[in-house]
């Protein structure tokens, strides 16, 4: 394994850029990363998935237009669910949307993009909304599905790790000054009282977490370099252990010969509980 990850070690030009989604996949299963990003294999998106993605995009556009001071009524008129979620968010988090007070100068930006060069890789993050003043910076992210049941799942997701990390690395804010909050706007749809059901989850960043993320990231990039070198010698990226229980929902089940007919099945009792219990989080 290389001591240091460098851009030269990773020969596929487009892959010099890494996103939080790619880090998540690399950590979950390196072989899946190989199929998806090196060999550009993908599974078809179902109509239901496509509709959810489009709705999510429209909601983000709505929030961006609002932040820019552009009219949003035309977007709301066409979609009653969108109106309910939008109203629920504004009423659940009034402090986020109140006008700036004269004594508290703020920097606010929707779809704010930052780029970080870390050990030869470029990481791009896009904050749905950032609100910063002289003492603190809040990163806000809109999620168009309900709040996952397990906080741990969110905390370990690479979006939660990477977004504050990039801000601390590319600004004057100390890690302790940074928070990241997810707003789950469709949680507003699930209860009788929609306005009280829009839920949030906040990650309070600090120097210890910052150091841990630097170590995790360095380790993962070093592994990526090593696996990439092996791949050039025709050795595939490693597969996730069967006991992790993630293969059953993977589109590459047959390619990996881990389908029902392969003989490679994991007994329920053999699973590692801590991982098999973790729900998939669409971040």
Binding residues for ligand SF4, rule: CB under 6 A, are 29, 31-32, 35, 239-240, 246-247, 250, 252-253, 256, 258
Nearer residue to ligand SF4 within complex by CB, 126 or 242: 242
Nearer residue to ligand SF4 within complex by CB, 188 or 256: 256
Report in angstroms how near the CB of residue 253 gets to ligand SF4 at its nearest.
Answer: 5
Report in angstroms how near the CB of residue 29 gets to ligand SF4 at its nearest.
Answer: 3
Report in angstroms how near the CB of residue 265 gets to ligand SF4 at its nearest.
Answer: 12
Burial 232-263 (b: 16+ CB within 10 A, else e): eeeeebebbebebbbbeebebeeebebeeeee
Report in angstroms how near the CB of residue 25 gets to ligand SF4 at its nearest.
Answer: 9
The SS3 assignment for 132 reads strand
Task: Give the whole-angstrom CA distance, residue 28 versus residue 1.
Answer: 20
Nearer residue to ligand SF4 within complex by CB, 31 or 210: 31
Report in angstroms how near the CB of residue 49 gets to ligand SF4 at its nearest.
Answer: 17
The SS3 assignment for 98 reads coil
Nearer residue to ligand SF4 within complex by CB, 43 or 77: 43
Nearer residue to ligand SF4 within complex by CB, 93 or 246: 246
> 218 near 5, Cβ under 8 Å?
yes
Q: Which residue has the tokens 């120097």?
A: 207
């Amino acid at each position: 394994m290389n001591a240091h990850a460098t851009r030269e070690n990773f020969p596929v030009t487009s892959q010099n850029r890494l996103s939080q989604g790619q880090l998540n996949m690399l950590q979950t299963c390196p072989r899946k990363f190989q199929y998806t990003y090196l060999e550009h294999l993908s599974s078809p998106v179902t109509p239901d998935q496509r509709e959810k993605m489009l709705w999510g995009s429209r909601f983000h556009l709505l929030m961006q237009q609002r932040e820019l001071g552009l009219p949003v009524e035309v977007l709301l008129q066409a979609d009653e669910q969108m109106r309910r979620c939008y109203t629920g968010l504004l009423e659940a988090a009034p402090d986020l949307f109140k006008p700036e007070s004269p004594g508290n100068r703020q920097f606010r930006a929707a779809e704010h993009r930052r780029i970080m060069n870390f050990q030869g890789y470029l990481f791009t993050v896009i904050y749905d909304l950032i609100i910063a003043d002289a003492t603190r910076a809040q990163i806000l992210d809109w999620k168009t599905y309900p709040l996952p049941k397990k906080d741990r799942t969110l905390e370990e997701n690479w979006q939660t790790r990477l977004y504050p990390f990039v801000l601390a690395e590319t600004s004057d804010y100390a890690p302790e000054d940074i928070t990241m909050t997810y707003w789950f706007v469709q949680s507003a749809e699930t209860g009788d009282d929609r306005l009280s059901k829009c839920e949030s989850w906040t990650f309070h960043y600090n120097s210890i977490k910052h150091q841990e993320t630097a170590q995790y990231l360095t380790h993962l990039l070093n592994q990526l370099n090593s696996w990439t070198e092996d791949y050039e010698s025709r050795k595939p990226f490693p597969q996730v252990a069967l006991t992790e229980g993630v293969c059953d929902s993977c589109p590459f089940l047959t390619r990996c010969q881990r389908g029902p007919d392969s003989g490679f099945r994991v007994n329920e009792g053999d699973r590692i509980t801590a991982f098999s219990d973790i729900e998939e989080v669409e971040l």
